[in-house]
A and B are shown apart, each in its own frame.
Chain A
């Protein structure tokens, strides 16, 4: 049984013809003959420039900006989408956001402008992730002409757009924040053009399908796989999309920590941890993970499945001792320690018929020092040269325990056992961290690439460890060049 992809586009319901190929990008479809909406541009086809930004309108009134170049058409089933053409008023007048951009001289060549207009429109309301200023809203949009100054001026002139849905009440400081609601698209299966796109509606169906289709692309957010379609023009015969499985969308917080469904977007995760002081360093790191567009699609489960050695969110899982639940129709659930999950370059303990379902992230113990770090050529929306997460237990001026995890230093995200040993039992002093930094050189043999040489990775990792001391010793001082 094959159905039709349905979504709301610019306020009007669309039911796509059954012959519509489900694995094409939303951008190709929008710009193609059927939709003919050429206001959305292709600048890079890799989810980085933002010229293709469109907005998903959530049922609660929130707006999620997305890269149309990475989103697959089948993934959009059941959603409500808006493009730059859909912003005009009923009278045909330009939207205030469009006027503000023009009046601030915030366009020169104009090619990036529709995407920036959509990011601005999304930013006029609370987004899926809540919070963040104009730079967060713009991190996923590149402009090569203006130098951004007039764009930021336009952003400052855009009035807040009142959301019709009530925003969640502020959490009390003691209670963990309420998990964010999520709307599910409903299931389906779309078969056309040599592609079979499955959108199972529950975990049992997903696991059955996975067992039957071990070669199918397992599509969580699609920020990695979407690239293979958009940039490398791949056409996988079978895609198994996770976004309609309610079990994977659960997100809970309590005194012990977070339980994060594998299909939860980084945007929703950020909304939760952004309100949770215990995870503040993680929230700061997540704000630098991709862009708002990427966080609106990408998931922690997807990053674990991809197992990239430079996945920004993976070192915190190691530092905090996360547990990863995987499931299959064959063997049911099993729980794996994050420390043991990665077995090699982009390889994990996951069996071909297994699916990651949940990540349990323990809360940093009271009094512990928790820090997340990332080095990259550009502060925003850059892939890490290296990243790190640190957890220190300090008792009476002595480091009682140290968990130091790094990304970008080895074939997998990994602990630094010698540096951990050097710190454990050492006095809380600069010299201890200098010694541990020397031990790091024996923990890792990093590679050289376009993001940084092996020497820089080693020196930068040592620098981050030295910074950890100063974070503890001088909490009164800002320790980063981008600190407010």
Chain B
């Protein structure tokens, strides 16, 4: 039996006292989730005549595909339609970037196991699945490339190399007193959103198509569906009230699911639902990119890094998808919070015969920031100084350079502050001594302590994507309807944006009706991704609400004969001196005066620039900082391990909602820990993914959470950039704080190399590779 978990009380978790900025309000649907009333796409009442679709997936990783004989499926009971590449009225093209040939259904060539070949539509889901299984694709096999190292050796790339340089790195490497080098790998990661991919398409008149899609990017679902159907964007409407988790997996992947569903509805003229079973979801949708790292570096005798030449080879899978963006973020984050004067970092997107890898929380950042950790460990072994001493010695800013190789300035004071506060929170020095004593006394177990410090750039790497829109309507009873381009996947975006609007109008957040994201209401949106949801949509909603408030203030000023700037909106009322009326009364007054109570708002992030060829510019609006310490316990006999404690400080600026931010930090840390420890994707020699469900792909469970888990939001640190109410993004950065667990495992094992995920097997190998152990 296990001792009860111990938690340090968290100051952020206080009872909500007010509705506006900084209030620790709950996720808007929290109670509905708990009662089962919150409707996900598959819970919606089914429209009359609904058909069900099932994908036909490739049984082979690589080969020449003969035109698929669809007749066996057409002959099966209940089957209404079987659709292949020849049945696409528009283009058989689902490329999110529009820069690559990426097909909805394979034609001529199969490039990964689990690749969609066709779609069966039937009266029941079981009939569709049975008919899909009845098809026998004829594929002439070709040898598959399954490993990034193999692809690298063959120079099989999806796009030209991405090279970021600064200074004379070759000369600096040659001149450095201490030469270092290393190679390591990290694995991919399945998103494992609890709700699998799903879309429901309902055909309307004049070629209209309504799609209920579990998507982070309704606009892209609209675009790709329109491209496949061969129709104008204005015929396709996409709506999403909530997702059962996204994590990047419902960015580009939701788009082709939606497009396939729309195709089936167009072909049959009836509503169609496509819900992927877990195995099909894990076979056919992309994952986090595995990476192979090779690097050389030079430092002085004290461990100050002088030069670095690193290659980051990402396994992009069989097609480009979003690999360009992932690689850009990995390369720009390769130095993380450290400064190295002379650098070359080369990013390669390798092509393999696996599912096309895609966005996943951190988007290349989590892989990129691993590099310096490996360099610091090597420097520690070479110099005899601790990793932490070297980390501090090489922090950007202070006595070292503060400018990144691509030209942006890091805030050295915040880097040092999050680390100092974390070190104190963790009680580093005393615990280091305790751990050393334990390790000297136990015959089979070892403890280890590790640290990590993060500087993570916030903004989409593609400048144009840094825009957002919102639509706010005030009704004459003073109730407010809010819509914006951001989507809710559980991260609490809807409540945060509602808080922004509540703050502007000075009303309780309950007055605001949160509504489903819809391409009909706010068009041409960006995905909810890159941690930018509340930054972008918060400002857009703010602009819309401010526009209406200004009109309402003007009306009140005329009514009361006072200057507009004296009108205050607070506590559900508008006031000026002795004048007061409720917000609803003022709304009614505005209607009487024929004043519009509806407005759109728009926001674009200022001061962004990026030259993708020179790899220079100002791609990030600001940086988010964080630091962490983790302690692990390792079994030298079996490699089993456990995180005993984690301490972290995350910079959220002036938090919009500390309860939501705390939840993001804790959840991201555990998800990152899963990526780095227990979550392993395993392909067999034929290129079939064999970890296709939670019985074989192990995400963390409750017992894996550190029993002591201290999370602090950095205090008194409003964002220096002009962010919404001086808050900072929080979705992705804390995932990387789990890197401290890797470092703790390296400390416990003493291994020079520990590839990821650090499963018990890899940890045991690392222990046994150590001289004098095992």
Binding site for B on A (CB under 8 A): 31, 33, 37-49, 51, 83-85, 87-88, 94, 97-99, 101-103, 105, 107-114, 117, 131-136, 138-139, 141-153, 156, 231, 233, 287, 375-383, 385, 449-453, 456, 459-460, 463-464, 466-467, 470, 474, 477-482, 484
Contact = CB atoms under 8 A, between A and B. Distances in A.
B772 interface: no
A41 B637 contact: no
Interface in B462-495: 489-492
A98 B2 CA distance: 25
Interface-central residue, A42, A449, A453, by most chain B CB under 10 Å = A42
Q: 10 tightest CB-CB pairs across the interface, nearest first?
A: A39-B36, A109-B490, A110-B33, A111-B244, A463-B637, A147-B670, A108-B490, A450-B682, A48-B694, A84-B36
B764 to A, nearest CB: 6
Contacts of B193: 109, 111, 144
Contact of A375 (B36, B633, B760): B760
Nearest to B44: A38
A13 to B, nearest CB: 21
B192 interface: yes
B271 to A, nearest CB: 15
B759 interface: yes
Interface-central residue, A31, A150, A383, by most chain B CB under 10 Å = A150
20 contacts: A41-B244, A43-B194, A101-B34, A107-B29, A109-B244, A143-B702, A144-B245, A145-B491, A146-B667, A152-B5, A231-B277, A231-B278, A231-B279, A378-B700, A378-B704, A460-B760, A463-B638, A467-B635, A482-B703, A484-B1
A131 B1 CA distance: 8
Contacts of B31: 94, 98-99, 102
Contacts of B639: 456, 460, 463
Interface-central residue, A43, A134, A144, by most chain B CB under 10 Å = A144
A98 B37 CA distance: 12
A135 B701 CA distance: 8
Interface-central residue, B278, B701, B761, by most chain A CB under 10 Å = B701
Given A99-B34, A481-B633, 5 more contacts: A107-B27, A108-B27, A145-B491, A233-B129, A481-B642
Contacts of A459: 764, 768
Contacts of A33: 46
Contacts of B760: 375, 377, 385, 456, 460
Given A131-B1, A150-B666, A142 B7 contact: no
B698 A378 contact: yes
B428 interface: no
Interface in B1-45: 1-5, 7, 13, 26-27, 29-40, 42-43
A484 B2 contact: yes
Contacts of B126: 233
A147 B666 contact: yes
B693 interface: yes
B739 to A, nearest CB: 16
B702 A145 contact: no
Given A41-B194, A44-B694, A98-B35, A470 B444 contact: yes
Contacts of B660: 105
A63 to B, nearest CB: 17
B33 A233 contact: no
Given A49-B694, A477-B443, A105 B2 contact: no
Contacts of B698: 376-378, 382
A340 B546 CA distance: 80
Interface-central residue, A42, A147, A149, A480, by most chain B CB under 10 Å = A147
A109 B443 CA distance: 44
Contacts of B130: 233
Contacts of B243: 109
Contacts of A381: 701
A134 B443 contact: no
A113 B1 CA distance: 25
Nearest to A283: B1
B663 A108 contact: yes
B695 interface: yes
A132 B195 contact: no
Contacts of A380: 701-704
B669 interface: yes
A448 B43 CA distance: 41
A46 B709 contact: no
A286 to B, nearest CB: 12
Contacts of B266: none
Nearest to A107: B33
B665 to A, nearest CB: 8
A273 B193 CA distance: 37
Contacts of B702: 134-135, 138-139, 141, 143, 148, 151-152, 380
A110 B699 contact: no
B628 interface: no
A474 B442 CA distance: 10
A383 B695 contact: yes
Contacts of A375: 638, 640, 760
A354 to B, nearest CB: 29
Nearest to B696: A450
